[in-house]
Amino acid sequence: MVEQSARLSPILKQATPVLATRGEGAYIFDEDERRYLDFTAGIGVTSTGHCHPKVVAAAQQQVATLIHGQYTTVMHRPLLRLTERLGSVLPPGLDRLFYVNSGSEAVEAALRLARHATGRQNAIVFQGSFHGRTMGAASLTTSGTKIRAGIGPLMPGVAISAFPYAYRLGMSEEQATDFALRELDYLLATTSSPKDTAAIFIEPMLGEGGYVPAPPAFLEGLRERADRHGILLVLDEVQTGFGRTGRFWGHDHAGIRPDVVITAKGLASGFPLSAIAAPSELMERAWPGSQGGTYGGNAVSCAAALATLDVIEEEGLVDNAATMGARLQKALSQVADEHPVIGDVRGMGLLVGNEFTTPDGAPDTATATRAHQAAADRGLLLLTCGAYGNVVRMIPPLIVTGEQVDAAVEIWAEAVAAATS
Ligand code: PMP
């Protein structure tokens, strides 16, 4: 069992019993130099692998030059260069950026921007979504009551609509999409008037809520309603952005145009950095001085983000995510065929979930937990997600190789067999 400090708050729950001393590519090493295949990537962050030499070199160089150029005091080159560079990967028209440090802060920033830009207050979110833990972001979050319980009253003006979670609903993807769009129309007619609704927040794929991709037709339906009612469509790409899904942005699979994109995690290979991007006409309606932060757009983080973009491009990581994601999903489906306790395998690129279900269709959290732990014991680090913790998810770095995918699946098959024997 890993060493713990009695001084650490018990609020923190650690998913795997590992004390990491170093990371290299797709691997984490502990103090005894035991090697773990890391299919968590620090919750979808270290997309270029642990300590990619180019990211390390860029960060080291920046650390020795300027660590903290506070962006409301002085401007610095890494932030300017990153801003120009992001222009080549952001959806067309989203030409203005604002930087903070974490996904939650960026969600808060998008929420404030939406309220300032529209003069409306309400936000619509979808059941099972995760947008963060700060009070505004937690108010938008319904991935599990543990995030919300006991901290209210939460922010008013949040209306929650159904997500097309086809497997849970026992519907086809088309039926679930149809159902969820009708529910949204009903919500706009009964609960949150379009006149009061500033924004619709959506993850292209439910992340913490269970790794459920939003069908393209659902995202198209949201775009259509946002246009019809003058509501902003905010894509939370914190977990799905930067190539993770096999396209640069998760919403690229649907080909829709977002009004605001939120990005974090894979943006800077592990350095704290997040951003929102929006068109000038929206950003110009934000009230000057209404947002900022001491550490936002940190120079070392920006340098790491620039190197991350280089690595993604030079090593073809978006395509690799698509190829390796397909290989992983196919192999995991074969494991599921042999173990009916895994009722559904789904995902986009290198975001893949295995949902555990009892024979009568209830969430099987106990078996999922055992499989997750059995995998860690065998050297494969994974995470769980979903409201019931019954989805075991795999988020390897985008540099993952075919051999590593196959090795992970082999361990997974053994772990599931152990968990069900
Ligand atoms: N949005 C999404 C989609 C996320 O997955 C997360 C983190 N899991 C967040 C927002 C919050 O990010 P952070 O933990 O950096 O605040």
- pLDDT digit string, tens, across residues 47-87: 999 999 999 999 999 999 999 999 999 999 999 999 999 99
Query: The CATH number of the domain where 248 resides is what?
Result: 3.40.640.10
250 plus 270 within the same structural domain: yes
Is the C-beta atom of 169 inside 6 A of ligand 1?
no
What integer pLDDT is reported at residue 2 of this predicted model?
64
**4 falls in which pLDDT band (50, 70, 90)?**
confident
70: in domain: yes
Sheet holding 197-202, edge to edge: 96-100, 274-278, 260-263, 232-236, 197-202, 122-126, 158-161
What value does the mean pLDDT take over residues 23-33? Answer: 97
Residue ending a domain, among 314, 336, 359, is 314
- Rounded to an integer, what distance in angstroms lies between the CA atom of residue 86 and that of residue 288? 23
Instruction: Kindly give the distance from the C-alpha atom of residue 264 to the centroid of ligand 1, in angstroms, as a whole number.
Output: 8
Q: Is the Cβ–Cβ distance between 234 and 114 less than 8 Å?
A: yes
Please write the tens of the pLDDT for every residue from 386-409: 999 999 999 999 999 999 999 999
- Rounded to an integer, what distance in angstroms lies between the CA atom of residue 16 and that of residue 2? 9
- Rounded to an integer, what distance in angstroms lies between the CA atom of residue 250 and that of residue 273? 19
Please write the tens of the pLDDT for every residue from 98-145: 999 999 999 999 999 999 999 999 999 999 999 999 999 999 999 999
| Ligand 1 pocket test target in 12, 47, 104 with most atoms within 8 Å of CB | 104
Please write the tens of the pLDDT for every residue from 165-175: 999 999 999 99
48 plus 66 within the same structural domain: no
Query: The CATH number of the domain where 397 resides is what?
Result: 3.90.1150.10
Residue nearest (by alpha carbon) to ligand 1 atom 13: 103
Instruction: Kindly give the distance from the C-alpha atom of residue 208 to the centroid of ligand 1, in angstroms, as a whole number.
Output: 9
Q: Is the Cβ–Cβ distance between 140 and 157 less than 8 Å?
A: no
Three-class SS state of 110 = helix
Please write the tens of the pLDDT for every residue from 220-264: 999 999 999 999 999 999 999 999 999 999 999 999 999 999 999
Is the C-beta atom of 239 inside 6 A of ligand 1?
yes
Instruction: Kindly give the distance from the C-alpha atom of residue 132 to the centroid of ligand 1, in angstroms, as a whole number.
Output: 5
Is the C-beta atom of 329 inside 6 A of ligand 1?
no
Which stretch of DSSP H or E encloses residue 355?
strand 351-356
**151 falls in which pLDDT band (50, 70, 90)?**
very high
262 plus 394 within the same structural domain: no
**16 falls in which pLDDT band (50, 70, 90)?**
confident
362 plus 226 within the same structural domain: no
394 plus 274 within the same structural domain: no
Q: Which atom of ligand 1 is nearest to the CA of 107?
A: 10
Cβ neighbour number for residue 75 with a 10 Å cutoff: 11
3: in domain: no
ipTM over 0.90: yes
145 plus 264 within the same structural domain: yes
Instruction: Kindly give the distance from the C-alpha atom of residue 42 to the centroid of ligand 1, in angstroms, as a whole number.
Output: 12
What's the pTM?
A: 0.98
99 plus 196 within the same structural domain: yes
Residue (of 388, 384, 382) closest to 361 by Cα position: 388
Instruction: Kindly give the distance from the C-alpha atom of residue 341 to the centroid of ligand 1, in angstroms, as a whole number.
Output: 29
Please write the tens of the pLDDT for every residue from 300-352: 999 999 999 999 999 999 999 999 999 999 999 999 999 999 999 999 999 99
200: containing domain: 56-314
CA quadruple 48, 52, 58, 60: dihedral positive or negative?
positive
Both structure tokens of 62: 């920046």
351: in domain: yes
176: in domain: yes
Is the C-beta atom of 102 inside 6 A of ligand 1?
yes
| Ligand 1 pocket test target in 40, 212, 239, 261 with most atoms within 8 Å of CB | 239
Q: Which atom of ligand 1 is nearest to the CA of 264?
A: 15
Is the C-beta atom of 237 inside 6 A of ligand 1?
no
Please write the tens of the pLDDT for every residue from 252-299: 999 999 999 999 999 999 999 999 999 999 999 998 899 999 999 999
Is the C-beta atom of 236 inside 6 A of ligand 1?
yes
Number of domains the chain is built from: 2
Residue ending a domain, among 279, 314, 349, is 314
Q: Is the Cβ–Cβ distance between 406 and 413 less than 8 Å?
A: no
228 plus 114 within the same structural domain: yes
Please write the tens of the pLDDT for every residue from 174-218: 999 999 999 999 999 999 999 999 999 999 999 999 999 999 999
180 plus 248 within the same structural domain: yes
What value does the mean pLDDT take over residues 26-35? Answer: 97
48 plus 61 within the same structural domain: no
2: in domain: no
330: in domain: yes
- For the chain, give the percent of residues with pLDDT over 70: 99
Q: Which atom of ligand 1 is nearest to the CA of 133?
A: 16
275: in domain: yes
309 plus 223 within the same structural domain: yes
118 plus 144 within the same structural domain: yes
Is the C-beta atom of 108 inside 6 A of ligand 1?
no
Answer whether residue 1 shows pLDDT above 80. no
Q: Which atom of ligand 1 is nearest to the CA of 274?
A: 15
What integer pLDDT is reported at residue 134 of this predicted model?
98
Residue ending a domain, among 273, 289, 314, is 314
7: in domain: no
